[in-house]
Amino acid sequence: MAISRRRFLKFSAGTAAALGVNVFDNPLLKKAFAEAVKETPVIWLATGACSGCSVSLLNALSPRIQDVLLDQVVPGHHMELAFHQTIMAASGDLAMEAMYETEKKPFLLVVEGSVIEGDPRMCEVGESHGHGIPGSAHLERLGRKAQAVIAVGSCAAYGGIPKANMNPSGSIGVGDFFAEKGIATPVINLPGCAIHPDWFVATLATYMLAGPEAIELDEHGRPKMFFSKLIHDNCPLRGHFDAGRFAQKWGEPYCLYKLGCKGPVTRANCPEKKFNAGTNWCLDNRHPCIGCVQPESPYEDSMFGTVPIQAATPPAAYPPIVTEHRQEVDFSPTYGALAGVAVGAAGVNMLKKRSAEAKQDIDDKE
């Protein structure tokens, strides 16, 4: 059986470790091992963003963000965060030079924030000849060159909060922007406000191991490994939903559907992962799910309006989700006839009962 170069290096390292030999004393082996680690340069471009997804990623616990940046995300693969205007030490021309140098080689593009088309001055990154460069111009140029794009957060994926009713900034998601510009680079959407850090790290690891084609996406461009289960199916308040117990005001310990919970239409593994190092999430705080990973977020009518139940129906033995306390009486001929039959039947039963009682009295007298 043929042995690959990588397997040979791995075997050599293991053998040397077993013998207590420091392989890095040998400059040739040291160089070989360095070449065996594949670098994946990443350009993180923040456009119409609040930096919330960056903050969430910096709070990654397992692995920690320093491990993601300094160590190998997966064996033999290392991520080089070449550009991130929020957290990088460089600034000005030096920072922009890092971006320009990185795009000369194969790289992965990460986009945080919506793409602003209404007024490009709302988001400028760097300068050229004394004028700001719109973030959308960088995205169009980098998007054509990147091997793949990860749209981090609901704003980058679908437009998010900036795209809400009125949309003065003309914000759209990366996928829609690429469709306008005819850019065919694959886009992986990781919506959320903000994202869970594990979603990004796991997506990055899968990409490094087998490329973007290894990540199975749903109809909204999201990895199915995170966005396939309904929040509703894993909600700690599901029992109250099935029993027809709904909170009517904040603070009541029942199902929050009537207060605007989007759990019945939202697909994400938030109940399993939770946030803040796995300690909490929206429903544990007794706040309705706002459906932040859905393309419809933040919902045009109201974030606290109810949504149609599609994939979940409470048992018929329990009260309905929405109860009408006032009902009109139907006086149509059909219902009138049925009512007459019912009254007539009741009258017949009454006469039979009285006849039986009268007969019993006669028998008693005799």
Q: Among 84, 123, 196, 270, which one carries the catalytic annotation?
A: 270
123 part of the active site? no
Dist CA 255 CA 238 (whole Å): 7
Beta 171-172 vs 115-116: how paired, if at all? antiparallel
Q: Which residues contact 267 (CB under 8 A, 6 or more apart)?
A: 218, 222, 227, 228, 229, 230, 231, 293, 294
**Sequence-ordered list of residues with C-beta below 8 angstroms from that of 231, at least 6 positions apart, any chain:** 262, 263, 264, 266, 267, 268, 270, 271, 283, 289
Query: Which of these is catalytic: 84, 123, 138, 289?
Result: 289
Q: Which of 123, 196, 240, 292 is catalytic?
A: 292
Long-range contacts of 92-100 (CB under 8 A, 24+ apart): 95/126, 96/125, 96/126, 99/43, 99/126, 99/138
Residue 99 is classified by DSSP as H
Which position among 50, 77, 220, 287 bears the catalytic label? 50
Crossing angle between the packed helical segments 5-19 and 27-36, to the nearest 10 degrees: 130
Pick the catalytic residue: 84, 155, 196, 240? 155
Q: Report how far residue 112's alpha carbon sits from residue 56's, in angstroms, rounded to the nearest whole number.
A: 12
Out of 123, 138, 235, 240, pick the active-site residue.
235
Residue with tokens 């990460």: 110
Catalytic residue among 84, 138, 193, 196: 193
Instruction: Characterize the bridge pairing of strands 131-134 and 124-128.
Output: antiparallel
**Catalytic residue from among 53, 84, 123, 196:** 53
**Which one is catalytic: 196, 282, 287, 325?**
282
Catalytic site includes residue 50: yes
Q: Which tokens is 316 given?
A: 């018929």
Report, as residue numbers or ranges, the catalytic residues: 50, 53, 155, 193, 232, 235, 255, 261, 270, 282, 289, 292
